[in-house]
Structure 1
Amino acid sequence: MGNWVVIAEYYSDVYRTEFVRRGLETKLQALEALRAALFTYVPSKNLVEKRRRVYRFADQETYLVVIKGKLTQWECTLRIAELVSDSADPAVAERERMDGGAAEVAEGPQDRIPPGY
Structure 2
Amino acid sequence: MGNWVVIAEYYSDTYRTEFICCGKETKGQALDELRAALHTFLPSKSIMEKRRQVYRYADRESYLVVIKGKLSEWKCTLRIAELVSDSTDPLVAERVRLEEVGAEETGGPQDRVPPGW
More helix by share: 2
1:53 is matched with 53
Structure 1 segments unaligned to the other structure (5+ residues): 108-117
Q: Distance in 2 between matches of 1:57 and 1:20?
A: 19
1:113 is matched with none
Q: Give the count of matched residue pairs.
A: 107
Q: Distance in 1 between matches of 2:43 and 2:11?
A: 11
TM-score by length of 1: 0.86
What's the CA shift for 1:100?
1.7
What's the CA shift for 1:54?
0.2
Q: 1:10-49, aligned counterparts within 5 Å?
A: 10-49=10-49
Provide runs of 4+ in structure 1 moved above 4 Å. Answer: 101-107
What's the CA shift for 1:7?
0.2
1:79 is matched with 79
RMSD, aligned α-carbons? 1.7
- Higher alpha-carbon Rg: 2
TM-score by length of 2: 0.86
Structure 2 segments unaligned to the other structure (5+ residues): 104-108
DSSP 3-state at the match of 2:44:
coil
Q: Distance in 2 between matches of 1:100 and 1:8?
A: 26
DSSP 3-state at the match of 1:60:
coil
1:115 is matched with none
1:82-115: CA deviation from partner (whole Å, max 9, x where unpaired): 00001111010011111126886669xxxxxxxx
What's the CA shift for 1:16?
0.6
The one-letter code sitting in structure 1 at the alignment partner of 2:73 is Q
2:7 is matched with 7
1:57-99: CA deviation from partner (whole Å, max 9, x where unpaired): 0000000000001111000000000000011110100111111
